[in-house]
Amino acid sequence: MFAFHLFRSAYLCWCSRGHFLQPLVDEVKLKLASWKGKSLSMMGRVKLVNTVITSLLTCSFNLYKWPISLLKQVEQWCQNFIWTSDILIKGITTVNWATICSPLENRGLKIINLDHENNAYLLKLAWNFAYSNMPWSLLLKARVLKSKYEFRMVYRFSSLWPKVKQFYSTILDYTSWTVGTGSFINLWNDK
């Protein structure tokens, strides 16, 4: 029974997240469709996509793990806009999208990969959770952690915790700290 409720809450959270983010995706589509791409050069279209579209999505990237389907849809519109200046017309591409997203030094156009950008913001959120003393971090730690390395099995639901939990172990695995004065060391519990 517990597994059913856990699955149900995870499914509802996933569905509501997709429905919750859909108006933002529609706003991106309207922005791309309203621009007069024919009057811009390709680099002008690239600059518009990099500045305006990513700034629209940045705030939500700080809190939500976007579904891959929505990110792919937005990237497809951006790709169509860059190549053909119309989001609905797919152009003939001679270069892979991953190459286009690479830096200028690697023959790319430095277009921001939305999935990597979303993961970077969530890693920053997990870092702030693990190593800051901000009030939201202290509250969430008290709710979900037994110790620094051990999660509570039962905790009150938080919409923020599933995103932080996904990247928290990565943060702990790839960070280290120096002893310093030793005043913050717990000999028995710290690795």
Q: What local confidence, expressed as pLDDT, does residue 12 receive?
A: 39
What average pLDDT does the segment 134-161 reach? 79
Residue 13 pLDDT greater than 50, yes or no: no
Residue 154 pLDDT greater than 60, yes or no: yes
Other CB atoms within a 10 A radius of the CB of residue 85 amount to: 19
Read off the pLDDT of residues 101-144 as tens digits, 9 standing for 90 and up.
888 888 888 888 999 999 999 999 999 988 888 998 888 888 88
Closest CA to 42 of 83, 94, 79: 83
Read off the pLDDT of residues 21-80 as tens digits, 9 standing for 90 and up.
888 889 988 888 888 877 888 888 888 888 888 888 888 888 888 999 999 999 999 988
Residue 8 pLDDT greater than 60, yes or no: no
Closest CA to 158 of 175, 136, 174: 136
Q: What local confidence, expressed as pLDDT, does residue 11 receive?
A: 42
Q: State how far the Cα of 36 lies from the Cα of 117, in Å rounded to an integer.
A: 27
Residue 14 pLDDT greater than 70, yes or no: no
Q: What are the residue ranges of helices labelled H in 35-160? A: 42-48, 54-61, 68-84, 97-100, 114-131, 135-144
- Per domain, the residue ranges of the chain are 2-112, 120-173
Q: What local confidence, expressed as pLDDT, does residue 191 receive?
A: 66
Task: Report the DSSP beta bridge partners of residue 151.
Answer: 145
Torsion of the alpha carbons at 79, 109, 117 and 78, rounded to the nearest 10: -10
Q: State how far the Cα of 17 lies from the Cα of 6, in Å rounded to an integer.
A: 16
Q: State how far the Cα of 98 lies from the Cα of 160, in Å rounded to an integer.
A: 30
Q: What local confidence, expressed as pLDDT, does residue 42 receive?
A: 83
Crossing angle, helix 2-34 and helix 54-61, to 10 degrees?
Answer: 160
Q: What local confidence, expressed as pLDDT, does residue 16 receive?
A: 47
Helix (H, G, I), strand (E, B) or coil at 42: helix
pTM of the model: 0.76
